[in-house]
Amino acid sequence: MKTYLKRLSYLFLSLTLLLGACETEESLTITSPDPVFELNTPGISSIFLNFALPNNPAFTISWKDQINTTGDYTVEMATENTFATPFTLGSTANTNFSMTVDEFNNAIINTGNTDFSDIAIYMRVKSADKTTNTILLLVTTYPVNAQSFTGIADGDAFVLSLDKNDEVAVTIGWEDPILDSSLPVDVEYIVQAAAPNTNFATPIEVGKVKNMTSITLTNAQLNNIAIQSGIAVDTAGDLELRIISTIKDAASGSVLERISNTITINVTTYLTVLDLSTTWGVIGSAANNWGATPDLPFFKTDVNGVLAAYVTLTVGEIKFRQNNSWNAPDKNYGDNGADGTLEEGGANIAVATAGSYKITMDLNNLTYTMENFSLGIVGSAYNNWGATPDFMLEYDQYSDVFRGIVTLLDGEMKFRMNNSWNAPDKNYGDNGADGTLEEGGANIATTAGIYIVTVDLNGLEYSLEKIDYVWGLVGGAYNNWGATPDAQFTRDWSKPFNDIWILNDVTLIDGEYKFRSNNNWNAPDKNYGDNGADGTLEEGGANIATTAGTYSFVLDFSDPANPTYTKN
């Protein structure tokens, strides 16, 4: 009986367990992951946009979409993670999207961002009412928008003046956000000028700077640019300006160029050189061997009809004539009575003593005067206060001043007339070291160097402009390559703001020559030859061949990178 009851208990227990298991099985639920619309995280999060590779892909993004079955996707970016101001990059039916370097760069620039380096760009994708997660890219861009003018505006007018020759006329400035960024690039700026409506076909370079935001022009510089563009002297005219900036990619050599808008300014020019020339000259055995060389010129003065000549004469005779000619209708004058009055076709005028003279001829009253006249430099800085002759300054007819190029020593100097300290000759110094001259004034201190010396006896002013080089001609065709001093050039005073040098009537033999500075072959002095025999000079270039003859030369260093010469 016990055994029976025990087996019956096991049966009930098993049945209970079976029924309970069935209830548990009926309550199980199998779930699947929720469908996603998700932007994949890119493998690269920093992007450098290189202007040298504008058509290369800048990026490619992709996403998973388990929700939408149809429709396009819109790709958006923003510069803040809230997407308060989203920008649409484009749309696609695919689950990936890419842009070129140029397209992505322009899109970022159009947001107004001017940081250029490591700009935070947030991206997301939208489809219908669904939006993906956001990814972050750090992007370095390059500038597209050109620099803009500051400090000068379209329509500005400038009235220039010789009295303000060395004063600032204008500072041409510009704004370029790239200079305020941390992007490690060098930006070169060139300001160009041109005549209106020429589309800068023949631009004039106003100035060139690197990583700077302005160029300053004096009255002299702007005047020269305006005249070069075609504006006549003492005339108002329009001048166009623009700014070109360049950034160079060191790896490829590619150049990113940006050109500003063009502005037009109005410039009133002025005469930089005087025209004091006349048709009259001095001829004679004391001057030019009766016409063997051109007559020594007379110049205009501030009195109409009164002319002046600054000449060096030998013992002999002179007369005054027009146009280097003895033939009518040109006239010549002499002095029949040696009384200072002039007669047409009159007697020769005797010169008893060789020397430097100022001859004044009054055509209104037909009279003339001759006076000893030379202006020179004396002092410990030049000739030990007169132990040797003074350095003579020459009259510059283009500016009505006296000029010379001289090598001075550390010391002191003064200006004096006729190599003399005695009255009526005068000497001049500078009491205030202020560039003005006082009769009998203080000695002028100098430091060693080469100088362009200018003296204005009308305004009693002077200047000492230090320069590096004085140019000469050297060679087998002239001085056996330096056995004697080189043939010395002088500055062309008719072009005072250009570095142009002239050498007239030098006699050469068959052979070769070059141009060098300061009678010296050694650095820092320079020598120039002509590798292509094309009139362009190269430093250390080839010797220049010549045949025997008498020649005049012009050296033009107005463009220091491309100097030229002419030989006539």
CATH number of 148-268: 2.60.40.10
How many other CB atoms are there within 10 angstroms of residue 361's CB atom? Answer: 23
Q: Does domain 375-467 have CATH number 1.10.3470?
A: no
How would you classify residue 516: left for phi > 0, otherwise alpha for psi between -120 and 50, otherwise beta? beta
Q: What's the CA gap between 41 and 139, in Å, rounded? A: 16
- Which CATH number is correct for 37-140, 2.60.40.10, 3.40.50.720, 3.30.40.10, 2.60.120.10? 2.60.40.10
Q: Residue 116 in contact with residue 256, Cβ under 8 Å? A: no
Residue 397: what residue type?
Q
Q: CA separation (Å) from 500 to 351, 401, 467, 497?
A: 36, 18, 13, 9
CATH 1.20.120.420 fits 277-372, yes or no: no
Residue 556: name the closest of 475, 501, 507 by CA.
501
3-state secondary structure of 262: coil
pTM (predicted TM-score): 0.60
Binned average pLDDT, 10 residues per bin, the chain of 568 residues: 44 44 51 85 88 93 86 93 94 94 93 84 92 94 92 97 88 93 88 96 92 93 92 95 94 91 96 87 97 94 95 97 97 97 98 96 98 97 97 92 96 97 97 96 97 95 95 98 97 84 96 97 97 96 98 92 94
Closest to 505 measured CA to CA, from 466, 473, 543, 533: 473
Residue 117: per-residue pLDDT: 80
Residue 27's pLDDT is 54
Q: Which helix (H) or strand (E) holds 336?
A: none
Among candidate residues 240, 141, 226, 245, the one with its CA nearest the CA of residue 194: 240
Q: Which residues of 467-494 are buried (b: 16+ CB within 10 A; e: fewer)?
A: eebbbbbbbbbbbebeeeebbebebbbb
Contact in structure between 487 and 479 (CB atoms under 8 Å):
yes
State the alpha helices, DSSP H only, in 94-187.
101-109
Tell me the residue type at 428: Y
| Pairing label, strands 157-159, 263-268 | parallel
Please give the structure tokens belonging to residue 478: 């002239």
525 near 515, Cβ under 8 Å?
A: no
